[in-house]
Amino acid sequence: MALPEILTGMRVVIRNVFKGKETMSYPEVRRQPWPRFKGRHVLERHPDGLEKCIGCELCAGACPADAIYVVGAENKPGARFSPGERYAQIYQINYLRCIFCGLCVEACPTEALLMTTEYEISGTSRDDLVYTKEQLIVDAPIQRHWDTKIEYSPDRTTKQKAGRDGASS
C-alpha cells in the first residue's frame, strides 16, 4: 500500500546523504552576497562634502513599512548642509521595520540613499537598530565586527583570503 511512497522517500534520503555539506564556519568563513543584494543603507555626499539628501521626504513616503523618518529644514546662508534650499535635519531608518525592498532608493531624486551589500546589522537593544543620519553617512568603508579568514564568491566557486578588516585582498 504505502511501500512505493516509502521507497521514494528512502531514495531521496540516500541520494542526499553522500552530498557535500553547505555549512560554513561563519564569521571566519563568509560568502560574499550577490552584487544586487539589498543590505544596509548609506547616505551619500557630494565630492565637496555637502550632503546629497535635500530632505524631500520622498523615501519616507515610498517606504511600505514606514521605517524611514525624515524631517527637512531650510538651509541658512551661513550654514549650508546640502546644495539645495533644504536638507534633512533628522534622518532615521528603523531596521526593525525595514523590509529591504529598495523602494526608498528608487524614490530618491538626488540618488542620496543607496543600499550596500553589507548584511551584518545587529544591536543589543531596540534603540541600536534605529540608525540616525550620523550612522548612515559613511565616509570610510563599513567595518565588520569579526575577522574573516576566507571569503567565498557568491556562487561558491572561488575562495580568497580576506584581510584584517574583512576586505578581500
pLDDT at 79: 85
**Would residue 78 count as lying in a domain?**
yes
**Would residue 153 count as lying in a domain?**
yes
Q: What is the DSSP secondary structure assignment for residue 87, as one 8-state letter?
A: E
Q: How far apart are CA 116 and CA 136, in angstroms?
A: 11
pLDDT digits (tens, 9 = 90+) for 134-161: 999 987 777 676 777 788 888 777 777 6
**Closest to 84 measured CA to CA, from 61, 109, 53, 44:** 53
pLDDT digits (tens, 9 = 90+) for 31-65: 888 889 999 999 999 999 899 999 999 999 999 99
Q: How far apart are CA 49 and CA 41, in angstroms?
A: 19
pLDDT above 90 coverage of the chain, percent: 56
pLDDT bucket at 164, cuts 50 / 70 / 90? very low
pLDDT digits (tens, 9 = 90+) for 71-82: 999 998 888 899
Residue 120 identity: E
Three-state DSSP state, 169: coil
pLDDT digits (tens, 9 = 90+) for 20-32: 877 788 888 888 8
* H or E segment and range at residue 8: helix 3-17
Tell me the residue range of the domain where 124 lies. Answer: 24-161
| pTM (whole model) above 0.85 | no
**Would residue 15 count as lying in a domain?**
no
CATH number at residue 49: 3.30.70.3270
Task: Indicate the number of domains in the chain.
Answer: 1
Helices (H), 31-157: 58-62, 103-107, 133-136
**Would residue 169 count as lying in a domain?**
no
Contact status, residue 113 vs residue 92, Cβ threshold 8 Å = no
**Would residue 58 count as lying in a domain?**
yes
